[in-house]
A and B are shown apart, each in its own frame.
Chain A
Amino acid sequence: QKEVEQNSGPLSVPEGAIASLNCTYSDRGSQSFFWYRQYSGKSPELIMFIYSNGDKEDGRFTAQLNKASQYVSLLIRDSQPSDSATYLCAVNPIGYGQNFVFGPGTRLSVLP
């Protein structure tokens, strides 16, 4: 059973702070990792993907991957109220072709 786990939240941070979202996965052979943002009533939107150990930065977002620890995180710097959403972690396990396993999501609330 391929599993992806996230804290359901809600995670509340003040505006301007760093929000840290975490995800662990069970399949050690997983190759690709994705973060999606989903606003209430909307569809999931891809915001970051990472394939190699280390950090990947895109604007205010940084994805961090540690395959040895089976851990991937998303940091949001200078959090804005517009970042308030549910963040879904997705993993492409080895042998799954192009299938994806999604975590349950973490609800983030950025307080003005």
Chain B
Amino acid sequence: DAGVIQSPRHEVTEMGQEVTLRCKPISGHNSLFWYRQTMMRGLELLIYFNNNVPIDDSGMPEDRFSAKMPNASFSTLKIQPSEPRDSAVYFCASSFTEAFFGQGTRLTVV
């Protein structure tokens, strides 16, 4: 298996623009996680899906953030409108028993 695949790897956008991050989990995994990592706050869980259903979205910062998992092989995290404080590395991870991370998307909002 190729592991968890995220795209894009890097994204630079202007404040106010919509940003969509994409994730393909490992086949057979039934849980998917979106994390955000910054130097100040470390690794923060944004949302967690189990069997494509959102279980815990308490970490989503505000209504500007939304996440979907339309099927077992694809998830998106959308930020609309983006703000400079959203600049971070966003990781997707999937698990069956242990969690495996994708390579991350480095988002810069200018």
Contacts and interface: CB of A to CB of B under 8 A. Distances in A.
B101 A43 contact: yes
B37 to A, nearest CB: 9
Interface string A94-109: 0001111110110000
Main secondary structure of the interface of B (DSSP, over half): strand
A25 interface: no
Contacts of A99: 31, 33, 45, 48, 55-56
Interface string B18-51: 0000000000001101000000001101001010
Interface residues of A, number: 19
Contact of A98 (B31, B91, B103, B104): B31
A62 interface: no
Q: Which of B31, B33, B42, B104 has most chain A Cβ within 10 Å?
A: B42
B97 A102 contact: no
B4 to A, nearest CB: 9
Contacts of A102: 42-43, 45
Interface string A29-49: 000101010000011111001
Given A44-B43, A105-B42, A34 B55 contact: no
Contacts of B43: 44, 88, 102, 105
Given A98-B50, A99-B48, A100-B33, A45 B42 contact: no
